[in-house]
Structure 1
Amino acid sequence: MTDSDSGQAQRELWNRVRARIKTAVGNDVFTSWFASLELEEIVDDVVHLSAPTRFLCSWVQSNYAERILEAFRQDVAEIGRIQVTLRVNGQARPRFAPVAAEPSTNEAPAPQAAPTLAPVSTIARFPRESTAAKGDALSGSAIDPRMTFDSFVAGEANEMAFGVAKQIANAAANNAVTFNPVYIHSTVGLGKSHLLNAIAHAVQQADSSKNIVYLTADHFMYHFITAVQRQSALGFKEWLRRVDLLLIDDMQFLQGKSATEFGHTLGTLLTGAKQVVVAGDAPPRDLEMLDERVRSRLSGGLVVPISGFDLELRRAIVQRRADQSTARYGMHFPAPVIDYISRAVISHGRDLDGAVNRLVAANQLTGELITVPLAEKTLGDLIRNREARRVRIEDILRIVSRHYKVPRNELLSARRSRDVVRPRQIAMFLAKALTSRSLPEIGRRFGGRDHTTVLHSVRKVESMIKDDVELGQEIELLKRMLEE
């Protein structure tokens, strides 16, 4: 395909994505936040968008990146990340601009200068004898320049993970290994990715010669599949085995041959006294899509949980984000507003960030002072939507397995017998109904199935419920069990 053909295909894809978003959010919201976005390019699994103002960059990345990502994945399931950059004089900032420039994720930047790092969008380093060109399979996932130890807010729920992460970074910078491997787990939005990014930053700052690789599980799988297709799998394996520090995020999404390969790589890295840090949303024993040997390896290292945030930690996070917004935009967050957010938004750190961002946007768009009544009006849906218990796919697998007396590994298997197929379809239906996971993500969690299989299962169960009152009552019972 020529460059012009590729460019035309990307423009057509972007038009379809814009149409989906407009249908989902309505004309007013679309005009406010999406109309001025432009597609710059799609490289590997990253979509690069641009916006005309810094505030719009920050707001879209913080609040709508997942929605945009889901819209893209309906056409291209391999898309893994959305990156929004500032467009100046009609041109987007270069993708390989210094990382300390325009922020691009859902955490507000600290007022102090960001640490100076290599002027690229990834901290991954390659063996000196190899030259990895742009777009090569041997590249890491992007590192967020603001996710440092200094910007991490520690409290009782995460202080052990915070301390372990700092100890790992210090040891790795001094060619030592303390705990290996280290596995950090928690539900979404409690700081796992922040700590992995912070470790990478700290080691990079201490010794820029270190080969540091940060990869999401999706990115790892993409690289491995690409290497196999290009008949360069051996080079990929050797590259991974020469790293000094390997950080794998979202481990729950790793499966199939990629999971097996990670198991081999993990063994080699541990034998060679290299440091490995992994993050996932469940303890190793609950990652049933992984090989038993990989789970055993992870369990045999240091397993560090992060629990839900208490009121004191939530208040500290809101205060930090409010102080950053005050420094950046000049608005005032009264103490009663900080207290209201801390008490009302109880789910996780990202929602706390989102609450502060919403009030910043409301203040900038309307000029209304930040008060408790404004917070009540602006955050009402966020609070209502977050009051229910957050359901995980692991919870659904456990409840469905127990209710129908089908082993969880059977739900993830390729078996097609009726006693397995129906519970599996019901589990997929519940995953779509009760979680925020996209169809491709659900398919990956159910043994690497295609998103069309998940969609078929969802529609099948919806159809059965219409004709079978008893089945409908049974599924409602399962929902109540999961939400209690």
Structure 2
Amino acid sequence: MEVSITDAWKKVVDNLTLSVGQGAVNLWFTGVKPVSLNESVFLISVPTKFYSDWIEKNQQFNIEQNLKEIYSKDIKLEYKIEKDISDEMTKVPTIPIHNDTPVPSIIKDQLNPKLTFDRFIVGNSNRFASGCAEAVTKNPGKQFNPLFIYGGVGLGKTHLMHAIGNELKKNFPNFRILYVTCEKFVSDFIEAIRFPDKMPAFKNKYRNLDCLLIDDIQFLTKNAGRSQEEFFNIFNTLKDSGKQIVIASDRPQDKLEVEERLVSRFKWGNTVDIQKPDLETRIAILKKKAEEEGFSVPEDVILFIASQIKSNIRELEGTLLRVTSFIKFTNTPFTLDAVKTILKDIVVPEENVQITIDKIQKVVAEEYHLTVKDLKVKKRTNQLAMPRQIAMYLARSLTDMSTTAIGDTFGGRDHTTVMHAYNKIAKKVKDDAWFAAEINKIIKLIKEDN
């Protein structure tokens, strides 16, 4: 009597446990199920393509050899990948792209061309949000309008916003698209109020769009009155004209401190949230980052970092860059033991650590023989600039605070200053192993200072 596919697969997994260990089996095979055996093809179901790619690369030969022993014939392993959310979207005919002469634009779209859907890692924590975002680019203004995306800082909301804008530019070359932070919107509006001759240009910029992507809408809570009134009017103008609106926030609509009529409108379309990435997604993010940076990182190192850094993608990627930088510039063998030594001072169970902006500023100031007040003053001397940028980098890497909120804690600096500091320090960490070690030491002090 032929062995059932369930019994056969159990035997395969048991054999794999002996060869690769229980941890690897729990990670890669818990969600895998046998589907059918059709002549010489053994079909298994995997949660995502990421699973099938890993199994095919690392264990397919071993699995097929096990199946061959069980069934006494050559067996080919094939995969059934669970349906992605984008396949389940309501089918709406794609709007045709007209071949008219491109419309001159008086605005810069502010999109980062590197932030695309291809570079966005999809996992269980963000699958629905990603699927809805892609659906928007096929039928702007027709499906999910507005699209409201919320989730903690560092989880990918801004990436999705830019990906939507970049995909729309590709699909609809004539579209007028604008990505803007809420802080920039409020700043533009205040400027238009101060100088009334600029108001027509402001209204033309925001009301004559095919797609408005507005990030950090929670910032509007600090600017009641005319700013909310103006955004309400812009929202209505675009929505009534069938133009696409995408809004990102660090909290759901009901938690925003805006007028009830705005909350109501934010709920008109579709609301999606992004959760903290699960282990599978964190592994995929690290693999993608390593590939982009040209690093060859051992699988056990990827798994170790992913299992230690759980809540913040920026800290996850930053940890990888610090490790690879140290390995590269010190010619240290790239082994798991080496990485554990490199990270031993900063890898601490998350539940035991409470990291605040005050703690970061205090530790950085002490490390550079300054006061916390020095980090907040408007002076730009070299003695103050680097420590201040390091503190901003660590605040963005280690906390869930937005760049706007971080800027407020450094003497009222705007979010662009924080982003500049973060990018500058991140590059220095990547290029300078000794500087990376200095950052690791500061992180250790921050986590110890409880």
TM-score (norm 2): 0.54
Give the residue type in structure 2 aligned to 1:226: E
| Cα deviations by residue, 1:380-413 (Å, 9 ceiling, x for unpaired) | 45433855588999xxxxxxxxxxxxxxxxxxxx
Distance 1:387 1:143, change over 3 A: farther
Separation in structure 1 between the aligned mates of residue 155 and residue 296 of structure 2, nearest angstrom: 26
Structure 2 distance, partners of 1:385, 1:143, is 37
Tell me by how many angstroms 1:269 deviates.
1.0
**CA distance in structure 2 between the aligned counterparts of 1:158 and 1:127, rounded to whole angstroms:** 35
Q: Distance in 2 between matches of 1:291 and 1:244?
A: 25
Determine the C-alpha separation between the residues in 1 that align with 2:403 and 2:120.
Answer: 32
8 Å CA contact 2:253, 2:263 repeated in 1: yes
Whether 2:160 is the aligned partner of 1:195: answer yes
Deviation at 1:171, TM superposition (A): 1.1
| Distance in 2 (alpha carbons) for counterparts of 1:218 and 1:282 | 16
Cα contact 1:215–1:247 (8 A) shared by 2: yes
Distance 1:388 1:261, change over 3 A: farther
Q: Give me the whole-angstrom Cα distance separating, in 2, the residues matched to 1:392 and 1:297.
A: 34
1:366 aligns with 2:327: no
Look up the equivalent residue of 2:230 and give its one-letter code: E
Select the residue among 231, 234, 252 that pairs with 1:283.
252
In the alignment, is residue 249 of structure 1 matched against residue 212 of structure 2? Answer: no
Question: Take 2:239 and 2:335, find their aligned partners in 1: how far apart are those partners?
Answer: 53
Shift of 1:341: 0.8
User: 1: CA distance between counterparts of 2:185 and 2:192?
Assistant: 11
- Counterpart code for 2:287: Q
Give the 5 Å matches for 1:141-156: 142-156=110-124
Rate the CA distance shift 1:389–1:166 in 2: closer, same or farther, 3 A.
Answer: farther
The correspondence for 1:271, drawn from 240, 243, 248, is 240
**Conserved 8 A contact 2:154-2:400:** no
Structure possessing the higher radius of gyration over alpha carbons? 2
2:142: which partner in 1? 177
- Structure 2, unaligned stretches of length 5 or more? 1-101, 358-394, 414-450
May I ask how many residue pairs the two structures share in their alignment?
A: 268
Say which SS state the counterpart of residue 236 (structure 1) adopts.
Answer: helix
Letter of the 1:337 partner, please give it. Answer: V
The answer to whether 1:294 aligns with 2:259 is: no
Does structure 2 retain, via aligned residues, the 8 Å contact 1:252–1:281? Answer: yes
Measured at CA, do residues 155 and 438 of structure 1 come closer, stay the same or move farther in structure 2, by a change above 3 Å? closer
- On the 8 A contact 1:359/1:370 being kept in 2, the answer is no
Matched, 1:316 2:281: no
Alignment of 1:436-451 (within 5 A): 437=401, 441=405
Per-residue deviation, residues 76-112 of structure 1 (Å, max 9, x unmatched):
xxxxxxxxxxxxxxxxxxxxxxxxxxxxxxxxxxxxx
Once residues 348 and 435 of structure 1 are traced to their aligned partners in structure 2, the CA distance between those partners, rounded to angstroms, is 8
Q: 1:351 offset after TM fit, Å?
A: 1.7
Q: 1:237 & 1:354 partners in 2: Cα distance? A: 40
Misfit runs of 4+, over 4 Å: 385-393, 434-440, 442-445
Judging changes above 3 Å, is the alpha-carbon distance between structure 1 residues 305 and 210 closer, same or farther for their aligned structure 2 residues? same
User: Contact 2:193 / 2:199 at 8 angstroms: preserved in 1?
Assistant: yes
Distance 1:220 1:343 in 2: 39
CA distance in 2, matches of 1:391, 1:251: 25
1:346 aligns to 2:305 (yes or no): no
Deviation, structure 1 residue 366: 1.5
RMSD: 3.1
Equivalence map 1:321-336=2 (5 Å)? 321-325=289-293, 328=294, 331-336=295-300
SS at match of 1:278: strand
Identity of aligned residues (%): 34
CA drift at 1:436: 6.5
* Aligned match of 2:202: 236
Q: Is the 8 A contact 1:127 1:239 kept in 2?
A: no
Alignment of 1:9-408 (within 5 A): 128=104, 132=106, 139-140=108-109, 142-172=110-140, 177-231=142-196, 232-254=198-220, 255-256=223-224, 257-288=226-257, 290-325=258-293, 328=294, 331-384=295-348, 386-387=350-351
Q: 1:390 to 1:168 in 2, by over 3 A?
A: farther
CA pair 346-146 structure 1, distance change in 2 beyond 3 A: same
Given the superposition, is the C-alpha separation of residues 360 and 167 from structure 1 closer, same or farther in structure 2, using an over 3 Å criterion? same
Structure 1 residue 235, shift from structure 2 partner: 2.8
Q: TM-score, normalised by structure 1?
A: 0.50
AA matched with 1:311: L
Tell me which residue corresponds to 1:476. Answer: none
Q: 1:266-290: per-residue Cα shift (whole Å, max 9, x none)?
A: 11111111100000110011011x2
Report the AA paired with residue 317 of structure 2.
D
SS in 2 for 1:362: helix
For residue 87 of structure 1, what is the aligned residue in structure 2? none
Superposed CA deviations along residues 122-160 of structure 1, whole A, max 9, x for unmatched, are xxxx973x7x4xxxxx555x3222210001110111000
> 2:121 aligns to what SS in structure 1?
coil
**SS at the partner of 2:190?**
helix
Offset at residue 251 of structure 1 (A):
1.2
Q: Distance in 1 between matches of 2:171 and 2:403?
A: 41
Q: CA deviation at 1:179?
A: 1.2
CA shift digits 1:297-328 (9 cap, x unpaired) = 11232110111111111111112222333xx3
Q: Following TM superposition, by how much is the alpha carbon of 1:442 offset from its aligned partner in structure 2, in angstroms?
A: 7.4
The one-letter amino acid paired with 1:252 is: Q
| C-alpha contact 1:332 1:370 (8 A) present in aligned 2 | no
Question: What is the deviation of 1:211?
Answer: 0.1
Give the direction of change, closer, same or farther, for the CA distance of 1:354–1:440 in structure 2 (3 Å limit).
closer
